[in-house]
Amino acid sequence: MKSKRHVKLLFALFCTLLLVNCSSPESKVTQVVNKFYSEYEHNFRIVNKQYVSDHLYELILKAKEIEDEDAMLIKNSAFPTDKPLLIEGDVFTSLHEGHTSFTIKKTTITGNKATVIVEFKNKKYNQTWEDEVRLVNEKSKWKIDDVIFKKEISSFGSTQQCLNQIINHE
């Protein structure tokens, strides 16, 4: 009887450990968003690649390259005081100045895509707003693919639109 009891106890322990270690897809998505915005320093040029999709990272690299090339062209031009193409401000939130805190409000997963509504606050500018963070599942990992901005705050529609504007010299 003791052996049956041991087996049941070990099975219960195994199931508990399995439940603790197996995160739900929703918790994996929110974990990515939490880590990204906790570590993000309001500079897209030094974003942590592990949190963004391959497509978004390529846009970031292209935008950085365009900025660098244009700065070099202007530096070597007859008018070195001209302003080069440059993305100013935060491209991962609606507010140009970025956030000072954030709270995840809602997470929705459909297939290999997820949407997270995040409430941001900037205490210095007394602003509170919500943006929609869109993620994709790449190689079994959730990654941020775009951020849809609140229209009343941003002149851009999204992170990708902002990056594409400099890439396409719009």
The alpha carbon dihedral of 28, 116, 142, 60 has a sign of negative
Of 61 and 3, the structure prediction assigns the larger pLDDT to 61
- Region 39-44 average pLDDT: 90
- Pick from 77, 98, 99: which is nearest to 89 by CA? 98
HSE toward the beta carbon, residue 110, CA cutoff 13 A: 4
Of 141 and 23, the structure prediction assigns the larger pLDDT to 141
Q: Of all residues in the chain, what percent carry a pLDDT higher than 70?
A: 76
pTM comes to 0.80
Contacts of 40 (CB under 8 A, 6+ apart): 47, 48, 92
Burial tier of 85 (Cβ tally within 10 Å: 0-12, 13-18, 19+): middle
- Per-chain mean pLDDT for the chain: 84
Burial tier of 11 (Cβ tally within 10 Å: 0-12, 13-18, 19+): exposed
